A and B are shown apart, each in its own frame.
Chain A
Amino acid sequence: MDRADIKKALKDPHKWGEKYSLWATYFCTGCGIIEIPPVITARWDAERFGVKPMATPRQANLFLITGYVSVKTLKAIIISYEQMPDPKYLVAFGSCPIDGGLYYTSYNTINHLDRYLPVDGWIAGCMPRPEAIFIAVTKLWKMIDGEMVDGYKRYKENIDYYRKNQERVLGREFIESMPPPVTVRT
């Protein structure tokens, strides 16, 4: 950190802490996860940006959806996302979570992730390069500074909309088994 930034950081240390401790949930969906090992290891070293993978969703606050989301994976993603403590950031990686991509006509792959979960950022491409993750992370910093990352708030406000769409794909039984989303702060 630059010395001149110390003043800025001390002005809002909470935000500063959030920005530089992004812990990514180690959740592999689809083919995009193949970009993650070089990103977190010596080749690109995501730790320079404060991003590290975390084994459990309960200690993580960044969720990268790396690739196509099948219906069964969506179930696991929703459960993991709701376990993560606030504030949490969901970034869709690759073109499949955006509009279905290559699997647009598949009977078993959802087409638009933002109908089931609030997405804070999108990384387009098939596959995006590891550098794209760092561009996304720096954008996320700016958004955290400007208090523009409100996905987790939107999720609670519009829970009926999201639950309705989730029920359509996953069935009533799954929705009834889910607890109402609660605010958990780190």
Chain B
Amino acid sequence: MKEEAIKQGIEQRYESCLVTVPREKRVIVSLPKDSLFSLIAFMKEQGFQHLSFITCVDWIEEGEFELVYHLASYEDGIHAIVKTRVDRADPVYLSIIPLFEHAQTYEREIHEMFGVEFTGNDRLTPFLLANWQEIPPMRKDFDTQEYSERMFEHE
């Protein structure tokens, strides 16, 4: 089974990571943030040539942001999900533009919606929001109803 081979390959190289195969054609890898860049480089060599998208989850109670990278392999048809966590108080992480150039757009969006800084991405400029002065809107401590009423329900 191809998924098990990938799992063993990752576990051999990276000791501190947790790899699960929940079902056919699906691999989930979670690991500390130090080794994520090299893991994605390793997986790209293994045939995961396509970065579908990057997303971010706000774990407010644990004080962490979870960055989720979705990789896909054309040859094997496997969807790999690579997760890592960064500190919520100081959300800085490495950009993966050297590996996947189109990651710039996803990183810009995460920067705008969650406030995560990506070192190496030199285009973290205002992107989707217009005239924004609050905390990033996708953070869990942002009250969108209160904002909507204050901003749009005035007289």
Task: List the B side residues contacting A109 at CB < 8 Å.
Answer: 148, 152
Given known contacts A105-B145, A106-B144, A112 and B152 CB-to-CB distance under 8 angstroms: yes
Is there a chain A Cβ closer than 8 Å to B106's Cβ? no
Q: Is the CB of B151 within 8 A of A168?
A: yes
For B131, give the chain A residue with the smallest CB separation.
A171
- In-complex Cβ contact of B148 among A75, A106, A165, A168 (8 A): A106
Task: List the A side residues contacting B148 at CB < 8 Å.
Answer: 100, 104-107, 109, 111
A163 to chain B, nearest CB (A): 15
Task: List the A side residues contacting B147 at CB < 8 Å.
Answer: 107
Q: Is the CB of A108 within 8 A of B129?
A: yes
Q: How many residues of B contact A (CB 8 A)?
A: 15
Interface 1/0 per residue, A100-127 and B, CB below 8 Å = 1000111111111000000000000000
Q: How many residues of A contact B (CB 8 A)?
A: 19
A-B contact pairs, 10 of them (CB 8 A): A71-B131, A75-B130, A105-B148, A106-B148, A107-B137, A107-B147, A109-B148, A112-B153, A165-B154, A171-B130
- In-complex Cβ contact of A71 among B130, B134, B142 (8 A): B130
Task: List the B side residues contacting A71 at CB < 8 Å.
Answer: 129-131
For A112, give the chain B residue with the smallest CB separation.
B152
Q: Is the CB of A100 within 8 A of B152?
A: yes
Q: Is the CB of B137 within 8 A of A108?
A: yes
Interface 1/0 per residue, B47-87 and A, CB below 8 Å = 00000000000000000000000000000000000000000
Q: Is the CB of B152 within 8 A of A72?
A: no
Q: Is the CB of B130 within 8 A of A168?
A: no
A169 vs B129: C-alpha distance when bound (angstroms)? 11
Is there a chain B Cβ closer than 8 Å to A54's Cβ? no
For B152, give the chain A residue with the smallest CB separation.
A111
Is there a chain B Cβ closer than 8 Å to A40's Cβ? no
Instruction: List the 3 closest pairs (A to B, CB-CB), nearest first.
Output: A171-B131, A111-B152, A105-B145
Is there a chain B Cβ closer than 8 Å to A170's Cβ? yes
